[in-house]
Amino acid sequence: MENKLIEYLYSVEGNKVHYNKGEKDITSPGGIYRKAHPTASVFTYIDNVAKSVGVVKDSVWWDKRDIRKINSAIDLSEVTKYIEEFYKKYLAGAKLELFKGNAQIAMYSFYINSPKQAWKAVQQALIDMSMSGRLDVHVSDLSTVDGKFGGKTNRALAKVNCDDKLFSMYICSAMKTRYTTLVAARPSKFLRYLRGWDNRVNSIVSLV
């Protein structure tokens, strides 16, 4: 993971141990929820820090004072190693190593929301770039928009040589269209999510 993505993670998910409203256990710096990922190694580190400052009870019982003590003792550079380790495994299917800068952030953000829709957005972005002369790959050599990562998509991504900010804009445009299409097809199911989806896209656009 690039430093820019780590910075983005901390900006949107926070860089301290915290509780999110309605959740039953802590969330680590970088947004890993313990209840969902209890075996993540970052929590072993956090538990050890907690013990070092005298907090020995289970994290579900930590109060604000406990969390303040723990956060004051945490080494963020050490935590970052565990965050990178977790997301490398959790986001293996996103192939983040094929993206750079803002494009990597866009893929991260959209993939954790919906892996299939994220890949559809990337595939559409590659098609749009080819048709506008921004990608030296003929449309006939690109994958259909099926949301599945394969050889054609892999080869096309290897040939992306435009600015990462521009590539991210193509991905964001395609993703916004995906969200709009979902809402138009099933408004009773998806309309409630549209504002959050728009905010997700806008948070990437604002990085440019």
pLDDT in tens, 79-103: 999 999 999 999 999 999 999 999 9
What integer best gives the mean pLDDT of the chain?
A: 94
Please check the confidence at residue 22 and state whether its pLDDT lies above 90: no
Average pLDDT over residues 106-122: 94
Q: Does pTM surpass 0.85?
A: no
Check if the beta carbon of residue 171 is closer than 8 Å to that of residue 207: no
How confident is residue 12, by pLDDT bands cut at 50, 70 and 90? confident
Please check the confidence at residue 208 and state whether its pLDDT lies above 70: no
pLDDT for 113 equals 87
pLDDT for 41 equals 97
Radius of gyration of the chain (CA): 19
Please check the confidence at residue 1 and state whether its pLDDT lies above 80: no
